[in-house]
Structure 1
Amino acid sequence: MVGRSYHKDMSYEHIIDRLVNLPTYFSDPVRVESVRPVGDHYKLRIRKSDGYLDEIVLTSREIQELKVVSEESNRPVDAELLSLLVESHRIRYAFSYDPYFAVSLSGIRTLPHQIEAVYEKMLPQPRLRFLLADDPGAGKTIMAGLLVKEMKLRYAIEKILILVPAALTIQWQDELLRFFNEFFMIVGSELDRQQAISIWQKENQIITSLDYAKQEDVRERVWLQKWDMVIIDEAHKCSAYTRRRSNRSPEAEKTKRYILAEQLALSPNHLLLLTATPHHGDDDRFSHFLRLIDPDLFPEPHKFQEESSAVRKFVFQDKDNPWILRRLKENLCDINGKRLFTERHSVTVPFKLSIEEYELYEAVTNYLNRFLVIKGTGKERQSIALTRTVFQRRLASSTFAIFETLKRRLQKQKEMLDELESLSPADRRKRLERMRGKLVDEELDEGDLDEQEEDRLLDEFTTSLEIDQLKEEISNLKDLVEQAKRIYEQSSDTKLKALEDCLKRAEFSELRDGRGKLLLFTEHRDTLTHIKNQIEKWQYLTCEIHGAMDIHQRKRAQEDFRTTSQICVATEAAGEGINLQFCHLIINYDIPWNPTRLEQRLGRIHRIGQTRDVYAFNFVADEAINGKPIVEGKVLRTLLDKLERMRAVLGKDRVYDVIGEILALNKVDLAEILRDAAYNPHRLEEYLDKIEGIDPDKLRQYEELTGIALAKAYVDFPSLQRSNYLAEEKRLMPEYVEKFFLSAAREVGLKIEKRADGLYRLPYIPSAFRSEQLAAVKKFGKPLDEYRKITFHKEDLERDIHIDAVLLSPGHSLYAVVDEKLFDKLKGFNGRWSAFLDVDAQEPYWLHFLELGIVGEPHNTLIYKELVALKENAKGELSMVPPDLLHDVSPNPQPFDQLPEFDIDKAKDFLMAGYQLQKRQEMLKERQERARVIQEYLEKSFDARIYTLQKRIMEVKARLALGEDVSIPSNLEKELEDLGRTKTEKLKDIAGFSIVRSGPISHIASFFVLPPGELSRFSEFIEFEEEKQKSEKAAMEIVIGYESNRGWEPEDVSPYKLGFDIRSLSPADSATGYRGVKRIEVKGRRRGQPIRLTINEWLKARQLKDTYWLYVVWNPTESDYQMVTIQNPAYQLEYAAKEIKPVSHYEIPAREIEKIGVR
């Protein structure tokens, strides 16, 4: 049966090439490009507001009910609002011309190695799988934050997971918020279990600890999410190793941390691993660790040991490999080639225990050797070892610390005894077993426990199996508590006396007269309280930082230390995440058993920004006054002395950066030695000899053997300096951001007040600006209820009085919300035009603003977007110009009655056939090269494994041919088949990176720009074009000649409209290769004429400061010309510059040029 057709009676021509509303299909009006009957229905090809094409099928009734949207594109709209719309687009896609966009928007001063890592190594990769393995202190957190910010601004990522050690969660949250305005939710057990809806699903930006997320009931929820980016700090903690057993094939033994990371690494588009110690001296673990980057690239070491080593070396020897970057601290320099780190000096301060202190040391050691004997395996052994370690360290810390520890332990054990005595014998045994069951995670070491966890371990853990054993321990504890109390209250504290004597050394002279600063580390809160009280009795001003303080309290203490206090007494809470480079003296009152902690502590003051040599004083007691040895002290002093001697081999500072690896390579487990030496003091000499025998050259040998030495990279300073010049010149200027935000906020009804100090406040943010329905809130988070102090200039954040200011920029949630609100309000302005004025124009012209995109796979993924500007002259000729030319024109002040016509399709075709095609070719070439490199490495890795499997199978077949009773293992043939299939799929996946095509082009707005003409109010600003061109050309030639004669290299950059005319580079410095730069704005005028700079030129002068020069050539076309130069004219001439708003210029009288200028 044939259905009835209405096509012959239906008219649809009236909707073709018109905007229509389709509310149940699209939220915004769409343009109908064609209509085609399909049976009883109609297929419409439509173009959406973002430029993308789509097809839908409508019924006849729907066609009849279509409403055409009234288009008034031939009528002008409000010029200021249209300009605001264009500026919104220009700033949103500023990354297309500001190569370091996130740097411009963040409260940081980046360094060359950070720029190289983010913008040259990581950001260009279509799918990032990267290990950043720089030395400590290089700023890996900053680089990760910069990468996150940049990728978010480019709409490349949204859902981000950061895994870190528990002690670093707050530091990461604080730095990402403080420097990048990025809020990440810290998720732990309490917050996770409170939620009805999975918080992993609800939140887009999460920080959590490795050891929380690895738990089996947690990791499943983490794995369920589709993360766009996963970052793992201290990633070497995710370890696996090869277990070899007789009569069985080797297997990979994976920790829970590794299993968590391995599964997470499979799903996200982008993975970043951070560590300063990638190998820890263990080749097998290192090989497994690298598989987290890409398991298809790095072979399984338990199956392909030789191939794993060969592939690793092959990858590492290429400095441009896309997987790993490692730079050493001694090679890091600033943009001028100056080393970033000052010298550091280490001094051992030995002291001797009194007879009474030694007797207490001996008694506590006997207690440990009786009641906490290391035995068992796994969790039980680790729990006993950690409990002993905490006791021994507190014993070495101070008499007060061990007294308080023993007292708390006694109280808890007595409470446990009371509880047990109320139970039946059977229940007692069960209760004791439960207490023994409170074991620590066997993957933890002593450095992973905070002081609260240490206290819990000391208070609750027991090795007692019977109630009589517990009673015996309590009796011993009572005696120890009495002994410790007597010594604390009645005997002199030899360690405190050593501290008092140390503060009299010459290095502390500034501290004594009130000018200096000292950071003093202890491992325990009790000791902190004890010595802080004593130091204050010595008339020093003190502050404290410890683990019980929240982030706000720590910040206040840090500020107190910087401004007021002389000595900051701190526990390990200040060992990570706090920057104190205004201090250059440190005392390690307690020596940590993990020597890497020494480097972490020193890193608080010996870091980028430190201007003085750093001195560290290490306190250690290695014997009593009667000559009896303190075994732990003997071991630690021997190690400290050995470290100082090793500096000659490894370099002055590097020994501290790699001490963990050196000990591992020499098979020295310091914590185990210290524990066993206390239990078996007769082995002390054996252990001291082992430490003396540490060979630092093993590190070099190992790094050469494994290939990690090949991965060391050096910053290309000449290339980076040039990139830095160009980036500075193209940087999004904060003045434009400020002007836009203030105007946009006014348009959307957000109240802003200017403060007396020049900054701004927003006393109230309405709920409509904080709605979770807003796309900006979903992406950047919810704005606060109020902002008491905001700025648009990162320099303000460096001033003490503005340390509490918030930097407002396009990456900030409030900025994004205001921009979204404005965009919604002005969406009717899209594709419209208005009239503007250009005082320098000689004839009318059009400025067309369009957005173009480049897309790839899968699903038309947007990989690039840019706002471009086209200038169409009176003849209809088109040319590209910088979009920021919109700031050099001003709204036409008079009514404009004409209705000029423009052909936007002509502009789109011009852009499509020219610049967009060129941009597509550039991106295609870059992505093809990156895909080629990855494919080349992958093919070599796959081929090596395939060859090995084929060889193993052939060997078995050869034995079969000789008549041996063997068979080919089925798993070998299956593994070979799977490997071949994986290779094909992986290479096909990588080839997808090379799919790049032109995306849509959208018309944003057009400016019809008029010359001043006969408007009398602008006549004084009109210059005769012919005379002006001659003067400018002559002046340019004079300035270029002048610069060349001085040995500089001038380059005419005036065609690029950068805000200046000439870039001039100095000769290279012979030592560093650094080249100075001058950006020169040239003005050729008749003597006595005022000098005018466009708004763009004036703001560029403000931005570039001392590198911006104004060269004025008087009478340049005459033989008696004169030239005057002014460095930093925005600063030197600010008092004289007058803004002429109608024509968007700043004007400076000639007499002021003569007064300030240098001839």
Structure 2
Amino acid sequence: MSRLEELKPNAAVRGILPDALATVVSVQWFGSEALELTYKSPSGKVANELIYRHDEPRLEVVEQGRPWSFDGKGDLFRLVSEAHRIRLAHLFDPVLAVHTSVLDPLPHQITAVYDVMLPRQPLRFLLADDPGAGKTIMAGLLMKELIARGDLHRCLVVCPGSLAEQWQDELYRRFQLPFEILTNEKLEAARTGNWFLETNLVIARLDKLSRNEDVQEKLKVPDCRWDLIVCDEAHKMSASLFGGEVKYTKRYKLGQVLSTLTRHFLLMTATPHNGKEEDFQLFMALLDGDRFEGRFRDGVHTSDVSDLMRRMVKEGLLKFDATPLFPERIAYTVPYKLSDAEARLYKEVTDYVRDEFNRAEALRNEKRAGTVGFALTILQRRLASSPEAICQSLRRRRERLEGKLREMELLQRGNGVAAGVAAGGPELDAEDVEDLEDAPDNEVETAEEEILDQATAARTIVELKAEIETLKRLEGLALALRRSGEDRKWKELARLLQTVFMAGPATGCVAEDRPPYGSGPIPPPSPSPHQKLVLFTEHRDTLNYLEARISTLLGRRDAIVTIHGGMGREERMKAQEAFKHDPKVQVLLATDAAGEG
């Protein structure tokens, strides 16, 4: 609001013209409540108008200077200019994603993204660097760089189930990319009926997509295109050529589908070649079907894939100071001989497994035979793990089979007819077993327990009773062994722990130069009470057994942290941080859950 007294020649006034400023030419007053205003429009047209005191609310005198007076709002100008700068940042910063991510990349990671992958438009590529090279980081840098360049809005990561959470953590923690993991609950709760259309950054389990045709149909809808699809552990999407006929697995067929749904397609695996050129060409056909599909059968037995693939081995991975990325690795095997009690248990369980395998092969149900065979394989692995693991496994299996026997006997009394033993638990074929191996650690443990406890080759109640008696005898042997303390593997581990954690050499002593690795016998571990040790075991029963034993040996429970599949991500992170930074924690005891990816 401006007062009439402020209307003076050359002033710019808003409110006279509907969409522009009017420049005052002259003012003639009529008393103190009105005036005649002569003004000029921006086009130069001169006009006049009577203005009264009650018109003051609609008038505003504007300070007008030169055409480029820079008198606009500074904060708004800063906001707009910053938006333009960010939009064009990739033109001026050749490694923009590196500088906007929480990481210290290595030379081979930078060259993979900026020298090898980004120049390829569209990208159809196989990244086959050795394990530990940081392929997840390379994929994250590629994603962030494509986002900065406006070339990526929708991205799908397909990986084994055991790696899904790790992918989600890495992409968010290092690159601030909020990926969501596909679950059945999210599929069912989708507002549009297709969760893929509603979510732009997705991580999906390989087995979930390959085994579920309904999910694949949702992926194939016309509007569900992706800018980038990344397949981790891509060697699992393989096909094989045998006898002139190609065997396409469900995972390979999924790879063919994914290849058609995206502009950029990135396969990642450390083992792209299984030694068979024909299978490798089929695998490369996922990237370029016209170039590789069927070529082996046409007589092309070698192929140049240097334009579609990069592979770097560990020996070629260096830091910026040209030193090797991976430290010298000294592999040392600690031999031990089974005690008489251990040897007897091993022989008895092996005979039981062999007999049950033979009975399983006699079954006409191929899936049931495969499930029994898988259960017996689990039992033999636990036998090799520890007396505690085999003892607990035999006990649980006996209890479940006894429960099944009671059910069969009740059915027999009710029907008056001898009942056959029904298959219990899930029945697995070869692809089911492969999918189970890729599942998260907690799912694998649950499924293995269910299969091990229920799968049996017994076809009649008599056979089931005989198997239960055998299990009772084996369980008795395992219990006797556990109580005797004759665990040779533990004794060797205890001796090693005592060597590792004993007091080191006195201060001030001059250490002898170590000979180069490979020039002589492998040196023993260097003793020091401040060292940290990582112990891996396959089974949770063995982990619990070792935790109790090592706590007793070291005299402190807080000297050990554990990681297993039953722990949440936050608990795992706390255990890792404690092991890295807490000087009191000396041992990290973990199942395969700590080594996934």
TM-score, normalization: structure 1?
A: 0.41
One-letter code aligned to 2:593:
A
1:1013-1052 aligned within 5 A: none
1:526 is displaced (CA, Å) by: 0.5
**Distance of 1:429 and 1:572 partners within structure 2:** 44
SS at match of 1:346: coil
**Distance of 1:522 and 1:303 partners within structure 2:** 45
1:378 is displaced (CA, Å) by: 6.2
One-letter code aligned to 1:177:
Y
SS at match of 2:337: strand
1:232 aligns with 2:242: no
One-letter code aligned to 1:423:
L
1:242 aligns with 2:241: yes
Provide the residue aligned with 2:96 in structure 1: 101
**Deviations, residues 193-241 of structure 1 (Å, cap 9, x unaligned):** 4545222222111112111110133322233331221111110111111
- Select the residue among 209, 215, 218 that pairs with 1:218: 215
**Deviations, residues 577-618 of structure 1 (Å, cap 9, x unaligned):** 4xxxxxxxxxxxxxxxxxxxxxxxxxxxxxxxxxxxxxxxxx
Structure 2's unaligned 5+ residue stretches are 1-18, 20-63, 505-525
Change (3 A) 1:159 1:498: same
Answer yes or no: is the 8 Å Cα contact 1:163–1:231 preserved in 2: yes
Change (3 A) 1:448 1:74: closer
SS at match of 1:345: coil
**Distance of 1:259 and 1:431 partners within structure 2:** 39
- Select the residue among 438, 463, 466 that pairs with 1:448: 438
1:74 is displaced (CA, Å) by: 6.2
**Distance of 1:272 and 1:438 partners within structure 2:** 34
Provide the residue aligned with 2:292 in structure 1: 298
Provide the residue aligned with 1:576 in structure 2: 596
1:268 is displaced (CA, Å) by: 0.3
1:274 is displaced (CA, Å) by: 0.2
- Select the residue among 255, 258, 282 that pairs with 2:252: 258
Provide the residue aligned with 1:198 in structure 2: 194
Change (3 A) 1:456 1:332: same
**Deviations, residues 552-585 of structure 1 (Å, cap 9, x unaligned):** 11100001111221001111011124xxxxxxxx
Provide the residue aligned with 1:435 in structure 2: 424
| CA-based RMSD | 2.7
**Deviations, residues 621-662 of structure 1 (Å, cap 9, x unaligned):** xxxxxxxxxxxxxxxxxxxxxxxxxxxxxxxxxxxxxxxxxx
**Distance of 1:430 and 1:124 partners within structure 2:** 68
Change (3 A) 1:457 1:190: farther
Provide the residue aligned with 1:536 in structure 2: 551
**Deviations, residues 840-891 of structure 1 (Å, cap 9, x unaligned):** xxxxxxxxxxxxxxxxxxxxxxxxxxxxxxxxxxxxxxxxxxxxxxxxxxxx
Change (3 A) 1:405 1:194: farther
**Distance of 2:297 and 2:152 partners within structure 1:** 36
Provide the residue aligned with 2:541 in structure 1: 526
**Deviations, residues 343-366 of structure 1 (Å, cap 9, x unaligned):** 101111011222112211112112
**Distance of 1:123 and 1:380 partners within structure 2:** 49
- Select the residue among 149, 156, 161 that pairs with 1:161: 156
SS at match of 1:544: strand
1:398 aligns with 2:386: yes
Structure 1's unaligned 5+ residue stretches are 1-19, 21-71, 245-249, 578-1159
1:117 aligns with 2:135: no
1:528 is displaced (CA, Å) by: 0.5
**Distance of 1:508 and 1:462 partners within structure 2:** 48
SS at match of 2:562: strand
**Deviations, residues 977-1015 of structure 1 (Å, cap 9, x unaligned):** xxxxxxxxxxxxxxxxxxxxxxxxxxxxxxxxxxxxxxx
Provide the residue aligned with 1:555 in structure 2: 573
Change (3 A) 1:106 1:251: same
1:551 is displaced (CA, Å) by: 1.0
SS at match of 1:344: coil
> Which structure shows the higher strand fraction?
1
One-letter code aligned to 1:350:
P
**Distance of 1:506 and 1:517 partners within structure 2:** 9
**Distance of 1:437 and 1:327 partners within structure 2:** 41
Answer yes or no: is the 8 Å Cα contact 1:112–1:334 preserved in 2: yes
One-letter code aligned to 1:418:
R
1:668-1067 aligned within 5 A: none
Answer yes or no: is the 8 Å Cα contact 2:501–2:529 preserved in 1: no
**Distance of 1:378 and 1:158 partners within structure 2:** 46
**Distance of 2:502 and 2:214 partners within structure 1:** 53
**Distance of 2:86 and 2:296 partners within structure 1:** 52
Change (3 A) 1:514 1:505: closer
Answer yes or no: is the 8 Å Cα contact 1:420–1:428 preserved in 2: no
Change (3 A) 1:509 1:427: farther
Change (3 A) 1:157 1:514: same
1:547 is displaced (CA, Å) by: 0.8
Bigger Cα displacement from structure 2, 187-196 vs 484-493: 187-196
Change (3 A) 1:135 1:427: farther
1:258 is displaced (CA, Å) by: 0.4
1:410 aligns with 2:430: no
Provide the residue aligned with 2:27 in structure 1: none
One-letter code aligned to 2:236:
K
1:184 is displaced (CA, Å) by: 1.3
**Distance of 2:127 and 2:419 partners within structure 1:** 49
**Distance of 1:464 and 1:85 partners within structure 2:** 76
Change (3 A) 1:396 1:434: closer
Answer yes or no: is the 8 Å Cα contact 1:230–1:271 preserved in 2: yes
Change (3 A) 1:217 1:335: same
Provide the residue aligned with 1:337 in structure 2: 322
Provide the residue aligned with 2:481 in structure 1: 487
**Deviations, residues 1003-1040 of structure 1 (Å, cap 9, x unaligned):** xxxxxxxxxxxxxxxxxxxxxxxxxxxxxxxxxxxxxx
**Distance of 1:430 and 1:137 partners within structure 2:** 55
One-letter code aligned to 1:260:
L
1:506 is displaced (CA, Å) by: 5.9
Q: How many residues align?
A: 494
**Deviations, residues 789-846 of structure 1 (Å, cap 9, x unaligned):** xxxxxxxxxxxxxxxxxxxxxxxxxxxxxxxxxxxxxxxxxxxxxxxxxxxxxxxxxx
**Distance of 1:115 and 1:569 partners within structure 2:** 34
1:42-53 aligned within 5 A: none
1:447 is displaced (CA, Å) by: 4.3
Change (3 A) 1:566 1:371: same
SS at match of 2:126: strand
**Deviations, residues 647-703 of structure 1 (Å, cap 9, x unaligned):** xxxxxxxxxxxxxxxxxxxxxxxxxxxxxxxxxxxxxxxxxxxxxxxxxxxxxxxxx
Answer yes or no: is the 8 Å Cα contact 1:255–1:443 preserved in 2: no
**Deviations, residues 446-486 of structure 1 (Å, cap 9, x unaligned):** 84362222212212322222222222211211222222122
- Select the residue among 283, 289, 294 that pairs with 1:289: 283
1:267 is displaced (CA, Å) by: 2.1
SS at match of 2:480: helix
Answer yes or no: is the 8 Å Cα contact 1:382–1:442 preserved in 2: no
Answer yes or no: is the 8 Å Cα contact 1:356–1:491 preserved in 2: no
**Distance of 2:499 and 2:99 partners within structure 1:** 45
**Deviations, residues 22-65 of structure 1 (Å, cap 9, x unaligned):** xxxxxxxxxxxxxxxxxxxxxxxxxxxxxxxxxxxxxxxxxxxx
Change (3 A) 1:428 1:160: farther
1:327 is displaced (CA, Å) by: 1.0
**Distance of 1:178 and 1:513 partners within structure 2:** 34
**Distance of 2:342 and 2:383 partners within structure 1:** 10
**Deviations, residues 10-29 of structure 1 (Å, cap 9, x unaligned):** xxxxxxxxxx9xxxxxxxxx
1:141 aligns with 2:131: no
Provide the residue aligned with 1:714 in structure 2: none
Answer yes or no: is the 8 Å Cα contact 2:499–2:527 preserved in 1: no
Change (3 A) 1:427 1:143: farther
